[in-house]
Amino acid sequence: MSEVARLETWRQRLDGWMMYVPFGALLASSAMVPIAAAAGLPHLPFPVTALVVLVTAGWLLWWVSLHPQWRNDRGRMTVFFAGLVALIFLLVWCSSFYGFFAWTGYLYAGYALRGRLARLAGVSVMAVATALAQAGGLSALAEPSSRIFFAVLLFFNLLVANALTLIGAMNDEQSAKRVEMIDELARANAALEEAMRENAGLHAQLLVQAREAGVHDERQRMAGEIHDVLAQGLTGIVTQLEAASATPGPASARHIDAARKLARESLAEARRSVQALRPQPLDSAALVDALGEVVSGWSALHGVPASLITTGVPRSLLPEIETTLLRTAQEALANVARHAAAGRVVLTLSYMEDVVTLDVRDDGAGFDPSAVPDISEEGGFGLVGMRERLGRIAGTLEVESEPGAGTALSAAVPAIAVGAAA
Ligand SMILES: Nc1ncnc2c1ncn2[C@@H]1O[C@H](COP(=O)(O)OP(=O)(O)OP(=O)(O)O)[C@@H](O)[C@H]1O
Ligand SMILES: [Mg+2]
Tell me, which fold does domain 285-422 have in CATH?
A: Heat Shock Protein 90 (3.30.565)
pLDDT digits (tens, 9 = 90+) for 242-279: 999 998 888 899 999 999 999 999 998 888 887 777 78
With a 6 Å cutoff on the Cβ, whether 224 touches ligand 1 is no
Query: Which residue, by CA, sits nearest to atom 17 of ligand 1?
Result: 382
Virtual CA dihedral for 216, 218, 221, 227, nearest 10 degrees? -80
Q: Which band of pLDDT confidence, cut at 50, 70 and 90, is reported for residue 315?
A: very high
Q: Burial-class residue 129 by CB neighbours within 10 Å (0-12, 13-18, 19+).
A: buried
Residue 417 is given by DSSP the state B
Mutation choice for ligand 1 from 225, 328, 339, 376, CB with most ligand atoms inside 8 A: 339
Range in 129-143, 184-198, 257-271 with the lowest mean pLDDT: 129-143
**What average pLDDT does this structure show over 371-398?**
89
Q: Is beta strand 306-311 parallel, antiparallel or unpaired with respect to 355-362?
A: unpaired
Residue 19 reports pLDDT greater than 80? no
8 Å CB contact between 64 and 33 = no
| CB 364 near ligand 1, within 6 Å | yes
* CA 8 – ligand 2 centroid, Å: 79
* Residues 325-349 as b or e (16 or more Cβ within 10 Å = b): bbbbbbbbbbbbbebbebeebbbeb
Pocket test for ligand 1, best of 225, 234, 333, 338 (most atoms within 8 A of CB): 338
Ligand 1 nearest atom to the CA of residue 409, by list position: 1
Q: Rounded to the nearest whole angstrom, what is the distance from the C-alpha of residue 368 to the centroid of ligand 1?
A: 10
Q: Which one of the ligands is nearest to 375 CA?
A: 1
pLDDT of residue 284: 80
Q: What are phi and psi of 111, to 5 degrees?
A: -75, -45
Residues 300/201, Cβ–Cβ less than 8 Å: no
**51-96 pLDDT tens trace:** 999 999 999 999 998 998 998 899 999 999 999 999 999 999 898 8
Ligand 1 probe mutation, 335, 336, 388, 401, most atoms within 8 A of CB: 335
Q: Is 303 exposed, middle or buried (0-12, 13-18, 19+ CB in 10 A)?
A: exposed
Mean pLDDT of 136-152: 82
233 lines ligand 1 (CB under 6 A): no
| Alpha-helical runs (H) found in 380-421 | 382-392
Q: Are 314 and 286 in contact (CB under 8 A)?
A: yes
Q: Of 116-130, 137-151, 243-257, 373-387, which range is least confident?
A: 137-151
Instruction: Using the atom order of ligand 1, give the atom closest to the CA of residue 366.
Output: 4
- Other Cβ atoms within 10 Å of 365 Cβ, number: 16
Please state the domain extents for the chain: 3-142, 285-422
Summarize the confidence of residues 328-352 as an average pLDDT.
95
Residue 422 has a pLDDT of 47
* Residue 374 DSSP symbol: P
Q: What is the pLDDT of residue 191?
A: 96
Q: 338 in ligand 1 pocket by Cβ < 6 Å?
A: yes
Query: Of 18-22, 255-259, 406-410, which gets the smallest average pLDDT?
Result: 18-22
pTM, to two decimals: 0.57
The sign one gets for the Cα dihedral 77, 78, 83, 88 is positive
Mean pLDDT of the residues in the chain: 90
User: Which of 153-167, 178-192, 284-298, 369-383 has the weakest average pLDDT?
Assistant: 369-383
Q: Is 113 in the pocket of ligand 1 (CB under 6 A)?
A: no
Question: Does residue 341 surpass a pLDDT of 90?
Answer: yes
Q: Is the distance from the beta carbon of residue 382 to the nearest atom of ligand 1 less than 6 Å?
A: yes
